[in-house]
Structure 1
Amino acid sequence: MIETNHFDVIVIGGSYAGLSASMALGRSLRSVLIIDSGKPCNRTAPHSHNFITQDGEPPASIAQKAKAQVLVYPTIQFVADTVQSAQKEKNLFRIKTEANVEFTAKKLLFTTGIRDLVPDLPGFADCWGISVIHCPYCHGYEVHGNALGILGNGEVGFEFAKLISQWTPHLTLFTNGPSTLNAEQTKRLQQHHISIIEDELDHLEHTDGKLEQVIFKNGSKLEVSAIFARVPFQQHCAIPQELGCELTENGYLKIDHFNQTTVAGVYAAGDNTSPMRAVSEATAAGTKAGASINKELIQKSF
């Protein structure tokens, strides 16, 4: 039961960045409301890596433990809901949720992440986050030395193939149609024994998201253990833009060194602001954002 409708800070998004920021704010004796829809971007990933003390833990387990620790602080409250709208009214922000409840706060922090736009390739969505993956630092060690694929073309495909070659000597670049690599890029990949296949993909054959082979439209097949792919994305929550927050040219919320967006009083942290999509990165960004918001509140009142 939420005990009040007014808070120092409302944190929209209760995953790693949001929980971390809330802890920093709670430890600063700030009243905080966390509103979370329960749809983290990494919910399909079975394990999280590159986060010391938590290496190999399921992302949901990390978030559950973090939430329990955060809610020990008496000034922090949590509600499972979705924010529908937000308005700035003088020195306050008024938000309305899907459950038709209104809250106000002095500051807003969006830790709402992004939504991956997976291609319409049968099997891709089923494997996304499990054996079709975006980050070698998060998942490369678990598949190192195996037959791996890259789904990409041109400059992006070339640079991604260079990166993934550190994890395996058995690498194939799937351009999914005519290659747009230039002659020098093609030569360099061949020199490093990276195969290039231009045939169009038909579907990915898998069992429970674990990739077994790529099936091409011409009927040919190739066994691979995992595919690395970078897919386009959009902001998971459009409300910051509705408030006037600007995006970078790459589609992330534009923030300054203190995690404030281009709208005064509105902050952002985590995957919605940075391509560095790791639990450790989001956690650090949340701590910084929470401390920055507390400092700004002090400045306003002192």
Structure 2
Amino acid sequence: MTNKIYDAIIIGGSYSGLAAGMALGRALRNVLIIDSGKPCNVQTPHSHNFLTQDGETPRAIAVKAREQVAKYENVEFYSGLAVGGEKTEIGFTITTESGENFASRKLIFATGVRDIMPEIKGAADCWGISMIHCPYCHGYEVRNEKTGIHANAEVAFEFSKLINNWTKELTVFTNGQSTLLPEKASTMKAHGIDINEQEIEAFEHTGGYLNKVRFKDGSSVELKAMYVKLPFVQHSDLPEKLGCAFSEHGYIEVDKFQKTTVPGVYACGDNVTPMRSVANAVAAGTLAGAMLNRELIDDDF
């Protein structure tokens, strides 16, 4: 174990973690960013709805961000996976997959989430490209196109209301019997939203871009995009191991300052909110870094 005690260890070096690192670096704090290099948007071709970066590739944004954060000499990087952590008298000790240990006074989890793909051929290949989660991130690019929603029940109704703003050529694919309430289904149909109950065999695509939805009976329909709300799990189990509380939907609970329920531990990014975008991740990371620095000041002054 290194003798150095960092002011903060940030686990996760994507947008939120890097933003937190920049805020702390500029506050003259000694910071270690541990990153395993597995961002959830690795397949996404372009990032949108982020001022000054609209249309840029996620990787280009991340590379530039890391280069800028690395200019702060008091911010260090470690490439690897954090697998263990415990509370100490000083703060925390984090253990990596390779067995190295690092100590810090405070922690930030910017660990993100891992989406669970449906067991449908082509789904994983299309995820983040034409199988999308957010109209604010991707809706403009597929506006007025033949669009689907892979959902059922109340989720299908609420999602169809939202997506109907971007296209009127909209079909909800329930992938089996619809569980929509009759009055909700009638409302959707009144707005021209079709409901397709056929069981899906595959998403036919070219390089991740949807061409057709093929059904188990051999029929198919042409489609340009499919919205879906995927189930997810936390990318790291360390927040749970350290005692962080979680919401009923599986997100790490944080207050308005990005503090978790464990003293000295902050969290930011996709692991705390369903509002998944680069812009939101950066904003949350910046806030977490600033608030952690304020806590250090209060501890020492």
TM normalised by structure 2 equals: 0.98
Distance 1:90 1:193 in 2: 62
2:209 is aligned to: 210
User: Which 5+ residue runs of structure 2 have no aligned equivalent?
Assistant: none
Please report the RMSD computed on the Cα atoms of aligned residues, expressed in angstroms: 1.2
Distance 1:130 1:116 in 2: 14
Distance (Å, rounded) in 1 between the aligned partners of 2:3 and 2:183 = 63
Aligned to 1:139: 138
C-alpha offsets along residues 78-115 of structure 1, whole Å, 9 cap, x if unaligned? 11111010011123211111222111000010000000
Cα deviations across residues 102-133 of structure 1 (Å, max 9, x unaligned)? 11000010000000011111110110000100
Matched residue, 1:45: 44
Paired letter, 1:11: I
Task: Report the CA distance shift for 1:4/1:56 in structure 2 as closer, same or farther (over 3 A).
Answer: farther
1:183 is displaced (CA, Å) by: 1.5
Name the SS for the 2:236 alignment partner.
coil
Show the counterpart of 2:83: 84
- Taking the aligned partners of 1:161 and 1:23, their CA distance within structure 2 comes to 39
Aligned equivalent of 2:288: 289
Output aligned runs, 1:36-185, within 5 Å: 36-185=35-184
Aligned twin of 2:21: 22
CA distance in 2, matches of 1:211, 1:257: 39
Deviation at 1:5, TM superposition (A): 3.6
Name the SS of the counterpart of 1:245 in structure 2: coil
Distance of 2:76 and 2:190 partners within structure 1: 57
Query: Distance in 2 between the 1:192 and 1:49 partners?
Result: 28
Task: Provide the rounded CA distance (Å) in 2 between the counterparts of 1:206 and 1:5.
Answer: 51
In 1, distance between residues paired with 2:290 and 2:232?
29
Amino acid at match of 1:271: D
Equivalent position amino acid for 1:285 in 2: A
| TM-score, normalised by the number of residues in structure 1 | 0.98
Contact 1:5/1:102, CA 8 A, preserved across alignment: no
**1:236/1:142 CA distance change after superposition, 3 Å:** same
The one-letter amino acid paired with 1:202 is: E
Percent identity, please. 54
Q: How many pairs are equivalent?
A: 301
Cα distance in structure 1, aligned partners of 2:137 and 2:82: 30
